[in-house]
Amino acid sequence: MIFSQSQQFVFFAIPKTGTHAIREVFRPHLGTEDWEQQLRYGQQLSPLPEIAAINHGHVAYRQLARVIPEETLAQYFTFAFVRHPFDRFVSVCAFLARTDPSYQDDPTAWMKRALTRAPF
């Protein structure tokens, strides 16, 4: 997630939608009062303890709205990018095949659990 006071926008990072490429585009344009939360490549945590405690960069709107007033968020341009669900699922599986031993032990069981998991 990127919270930009200088440009008045909030970018919500949805997993497996190219968020790191998008972040690379925005970073050179961020001001000193702007902040980012991500932990995949280095560690950048929000200055807000409630957001930093989430401990990943995929902060939901409702999580941010608990600590940033709705009046402020209403004035900011808020956006995210989405991806076709099947393509996103294939991307997640390919990522986990490289990085997660529990996936490698039983990929079919993992996929079934992922498909029946309640959305967050």
Same domain, 90 and 43: no
Residue 90 has what pLDDT?
Answer: 86
Domain span at 98: 85-116
Could you give the percent of the chain with pLDDT greater than 90?
52
Instruction: Say if residue 120's pLDDT is above 60.
Output: no
Name residue 35's beta-bridge partners.
3
Same domain, 67 and 46: yes
DSSP code of residue 41: S
Same domain, 112 and 68: no
Same domain, 17 and 73: yes
pLDDT tens-place string over residues 34-67? 999 998 777 788 999 999 999 889 999 999 999 9
**For the whole prediction, is pTM greater than 0.75?**
yes
Q: Give the total residue count for the chain.
A: 120
Residue 102 has what pLDDT?
Answer: 82
DSSP code of residue 119: P
Same domain, 52 and 71: yes
Domain count within the chain: 2
Same domain, 74 and 91: no
Same domain, 16 and 34: yes
What average pLDDT does the segment 82-100 reach? 85
Give dist(CA 75, CA 50) in Å, integer. Answer: 21
Q: How many of the other CB atoms lie within 10 Å of CB of 55?
A: 10
Same domain, 35 and 94: no
Q: What is the DSSP string of 42-101?
A: S-B--SSHHHHTT-SS---HHHHHTTS-HHHHHHSEEE-----HHHHHHHHHHHHHHH-H
